[in-house]
Chains A and B, each alone.
Chain A
Amino acid sequence: MTPSDIQVEEAQSVPETKKVVNDFSIRVATVNGTGSQTSNLVLLRALFQMGIPVTGKNIFPSNIAGLPTWFIIRASKDGYLSHTRDNQVLVALNPETAEEDVHTMPAGSAIIYDEPLKLDRLRDDVVFYAVPFNKLVAPICRDPKLRKYVRNMIYVGVLAHLLAIDKDEIARALNKQLGRKKKALEMNWAAIEVGWQYAQQNLTKRDPFLLEPMDRNWDKILIDGNTAAALGCIFAGVTVVSWYPITPSSSLGETIIDYMKKYRIDKETGKATFAVVQAEDELAALGMVLGAGWAGARAMTATSGPGISLMAEFSGLGYYAEVPAVIFDVQRVGPSTGLPTRTMQGDLLSTAVLSHGDTKHIMLFPGSAWECYTMALEAFDLAEEFQTPVFVMSDLDLGMNYWISDPLPYPDRPPNRGKVLTEDDLRRLGRFERYRDVDGDGIPYRTIPGTPLPAYFCRGSGHNEQAEYTERPDAYVRNMDRLARKFETARQRVPAPEIIDSSGARVGIIGYGSSHYAILEARDQLRARANLETAYLRIRAYPFNEQVEAFVRRYAPVYVVDLNRDGQMRALLKLDLPAELASRLRSVRHYDGHPIDARHITDDILSQEASL
């Protein structure tokens, strides 16, 4: 059933046949800095606890208070966890955007609005519910300063009643959000009650949207990608973290600090088994990470595009001097300051070759909050195994939004610390040469300071196998060729792509990162709408392994889904694949700063298929 099919019902109860259950989305339009994020997370969490597959997308401004912000909560009985532009319930609380918000809703929508805005005059094909928020909040909150925050909790109560959200789950969710703050908890609960009672006494249900408990989430967790990534770093055994605050990566650094304080203070001595430094800038952040990595620590930083640009010089040093480092790039919209609170996969091309000269970096592409965790574990192993910076390419959508996920798995193997020379190695090899490829995989042995093993001079200037300064052409070429060989070895060691082959498929889709769930849904839409069967390959790392080439050989055309204007992954594939395959690659691009939705992919592919 689509919203346009819905007849506006006058009756208080919705007839069974007209019900839309667990298959619609709520758009909450508020002003930022008014605590609406807390209200929205209470709603999101309550739905999660009811066992309904649910996603939340926070579309927020780069501002502390006063600009428009939207939060989209999608319930999907079919389990689609991607963003949607098709919303059926609107909470209109921002006077500045209210009219436009109302006009974007499809016919048959339900709109809850702040009574003084008089939005009901705008349309007659939707259901309006007026709620006098200011009148309701006054008696429960005496402090005018707190009122603007508490006021936003009222719509939670109104929605709970209208949509039949389990009130106990609302209470549990509120407790989860504000559990430690007793006074805030009480005041906010009062606001939810006021909203609920107002709706019960004054609003007649005239829309078909309802939520009912399901049993889908009993073994799941609800988590944002940055928290998952932070936990991955901690369980990987990170010891040195240096970061500079930048949206949307800041919560990664802050979450590491929170958990480190809880789980990484030595119980016997009361001392820290970690160092976290808020650096003066991103240059210093990566500099400290390289210093720590060189000295043998597991070290990382987290940043976003502008920070990546600043880290260019040090990234080249890390590549050339062969120092392990883990860099989380929680990508946002560029170029320049761009749209700092919006999402993009915009740093692929620049990061793949970040720095001057011939450089190539390993990149990992988490496609879920779960992979933000598991790939953090893998990134530290790869960084030490390959003695090189490893970039984990998350983005704002993955990092800052909340996702239903399987529980985070405990690491099943000890950390791989790579080829750190031991005394046995030294006896076996007869001598230590820092940059000699003794095993044929391009990866040399290293020693770390503070041990009796031989030392070496680590430098970003030209060096030979013995780490001695040299400008000899032959030594330079040997070293660069070995680095290229090392990168080839990495192809087989980085996370392999995830492939869904389909026997009846002619068309392939390649995706990566935060577009994963939208692609899964788009494949179903393509099948349902146009009987178009597709195969799907999700890239999980760069360099690509041979399965990527084989996939492109198996299907044509192959649509590469990118959250950027220039089709950066497609460009990277074109660089890497044999030239004759280039023409098979087509581009589905999305770059307005919002998370990608399935319909965008479906429409784009169908329109390109039609023009074939």
Chain B
Amino acid sequence: MSTTTTSPKLNRIGLPLAAYKGGKTTLCAGCGHNAISERIIEAFFELGVDLQWVAKFSGIGCSSKSPAYFLGGTHAFNGVHGRMPAVATGALLANRRLIGLGVSGDGDTASIGIGQFVHLVRRNVPLIYIVENNGVYGLTKGQFSATADLGSMLRNGVVNDLPPIDICALSIELGATFVARSFSGDKKQLLALLKAALSHRGLAVLDVISPCVAFNDHEGSTKSYKYVKEHDEPLGDVHFIPSYEEISVDYEPGTTRDIRLHDGSHLLLSKLPEDYDPTDKMAALRTLEEARKKGEHLTGLIYINTNSKDFIELLNLTDEPLATLPVEKVRPPKEALDEINESFR
């Protein structure tokens, strides 16, 4: 028992940070994924998210183990390799009130699971979808993944000669409504983006470069800490202002955009490159391509569309969770069956 007299800081629903923590990580010391877990804990704690409504999803791989290391008191479903989107889709249809948080990796998303990822994006399922992207398969000891950059080198000297799948560009092309890239080492940016994702209605894709200290952190890798720090090209600064706080910051006009999110929160993007419009699909794709040509990792909020319907609205689902509808709502009356039987006579 604590002997100190200072009580821990509580969030707006009266919970301490500890309530948002998970089990002890089994990932390598220094793994980018651990930093992402910490940011998730902070984002959910700071916004005072009620954990009863949180559902964590993951596939297979180092990234997909991580949901055990944050938000420990919440429900989680660790499925099969590359198929987390389907599991999450089903669960969120079953209970539309759930706050879905998916964690995947680059192998899980861009190789074995790319089919499911593509259709998840098309459906705009209301889910935060984090790709912990290190360009390499960790649990199987260091093979390239489909997000490895052209010319990037493995520890054993093998050079990648296939072009990478850019998860952000792919998502924008497919009609994603919230597309961001970040770096596990950029605490401030990642935290703001996570909070914004929590306020977005629809799928929020967060492609987070998260270096693998065991297999992809050496000279010649384009996803090492050193390379990413040197080539991180933030697309301005990201500030999140929750719905329950007032906007009290002044920003230089012309380079700042104020995006109102679904729940009334605001995303302020400052110091943007001149005329960058994150609601312009073509501009977003062009900017990504230009950064790629320069060997840079473009980070920040790349694209957003706050006007699209999410999958729940598209299916016109009733307000109550389908999972717990009473029998009289889901079993038509006997007269209905009588009528149906009569139609077959």
**Which residues of A are in contact with B by a Cβ distance under 8 Å?**
220-223, 231, 234-240, 242, 259, 263-264, 266, 269-277, 279-281, 283-299, 313-314, 317, 321, 407-408, 410-411, 414-415, 447-452, 455-461, 469
- Give the complex CA separation of A269 and B319 in angstroms: 9
- Give the complex CA separation of A459 and B23 in angstroms: 15
Given contacts A237-B331, A273-B329, A449-B91, A295 and B55 within 8 Å (CB-CB): yes
Task: Judge whether B78 and A240 touch: CB under 8 Å.
Answer: no
The residue from A276, A289, A290, A292 contacting B323, defined by CB atoms under 8 A apart: A292
The residue from B51, B116, B318 contacting A284, defined by CB atoms under 8 A apart: B116
CB neighbours (8 Å) of B90 from chain A are 240, 242, 287-295, 297, 299
Interchain nearest-CB distance for B136 vs A (Å): 21
- Give the complex CA separation of A321 and B80 in angstroms: 11
Interchain nearest-CB distance for B77 vs A (Å): 5
CB neighbours (8 Å) of B54 from chain A are 449
Instruction: Give the residue name and chain of the B residue nearest to A299 (CB).
Output: B90
Instruction: Give the residue name and chain of the B residue nearest to A228 (CB).
Output: B344
CB neighbours (8 Å) of A410 from chain B are 334, 337
Please give 19 more A-B residue pairs, beta carbons under 8 A apart, in addition to A272-B318, A274-B330, A277-B123. A222-B344, A239-B94, A266-B329, A272-B317, A287-B90, A290-B79, A293-B90, A294-B90, A295-B323, A296-B321, A296-B323, A299-B94, A415-B331, A449-B75, A450-B53, A455-B75, A458-B78, A459-B77, A460-B80
> Is B248 in the interface zone, CB < 8 Å from A?
no
Interchain nearest-CB distance for B98 vs A (Å): 6
Task: Judge whether B324 and A296 touch: CB under 8 Å.
Answer: yes
Task: Judge whether B91 and A294 touch: CB under 8 Å.
Answer: yes
Task: Judge whether B323 and A297 touch: CB under 8 Å.
Answer: yes
Return the 5 tightest CB-CB contacts between A and B, nearest first.
A287-B86, A291-B90, A296-B323, A288-B90, A297-B94
Task: Judge whether B322 and A458 touch: CB under 8 Å.
Answer: no
Interchain nearest-CB distance for B156 vs A (Å): 29
CB neighbours (8 Å) of B25 from chain A are none
CB neighbours (8 Å) of A452 from chain B are 52
> Is B68 in the interface zone, CB < 8 Å from A?
yes
- Give the complex CA separation of A287 and B87 in angstroms: 5
The residue from A237, A288, A408, A461 contacting B87, defined by CB atoms under 8 A apart: A288
Interchain nearest-CB distance for B171 vs A (Å): 16
Instruction: Give the residue name and chain of the A residue nearest to B312 (CB).
Output: A275
Given contacts A295-B90, A410-B337, A287 and B83 within 8 Å (CB-CB): yes
28 contacts between A and B (CB under 8 A): A221-B345, A235-B331, A238-B330, A242-B86, A263-B332, A272-B317, A273-B325, A284-B86, A284-B89, A286-B86, A287-B83, A291-B86, A292-B322, A292-B323, A295-B98, A296-B95, A299-B90, A321-B77, A408-B337, A415-B331, A448-B324, A449-B98, A450-B55, A452-B52, A455-B73, A455-B74, A458-B75, A458-B78
> Is B138 in the interface zone, CB < 8 Å from A?
no
Task: Judge whether B93 and A275 touch: CB under 8 Å.
Answer: yes
Question: Which residues of B, 50-98, contact A by the 8 Å Cβ criterion?
Answer: 51-55, 57, 67-68, 73-80, 83, 85-95, 97-98
Interface-central residue, A263, A291, A299, A407, by most chain B CB under 10 Å = A291
CB neighbours (8 Å) of B1 from chain A are none
Task: Judge whether B329 and A313 touch: CB under 8 Å.
Answer: no
- Give the complex CA separation of A449 and B74 in angstroms: 8
- Give the complex CA separation of A284 and B340 in angstroms: 32
CB neighbours (8 Å) of B317 from chain A are 271-272, 275
Task: Judge whether A317 and B340 touch: CB under 8 Å.
Answer: no
CB neighbours (8 Å) of B327 from chain A are 237, 414-415
CB neighbours (8 Å) of A235 from chain B are 331-332, 337
CB neighbours (8 Å) of B89 from chain A are 277, 284, 287-288, 291
> Is B30 in the interface zone, CB < 8 Å from A?
no
- Give the complex CA separation of A200 and B158 in angstroms: 85
The residue from B75, B321, B334, B345 contacting A456, defined by CB atoms under 8 A apart: B75
CB neighbours (8 Å) of B331 from chain A are 235-237, 411, 415
Instruction: Give the residue name and chain of the B residue nearest to A415 (CB).
Output: B327
Task: Judge whether B318 and A295 touch: CB under 8 Å.
Answer: no
- Give the complex CA separation of A279 and B89 in angstroms: 10
> Is B264 in the interface zone, CB < 8 Å from A?
no
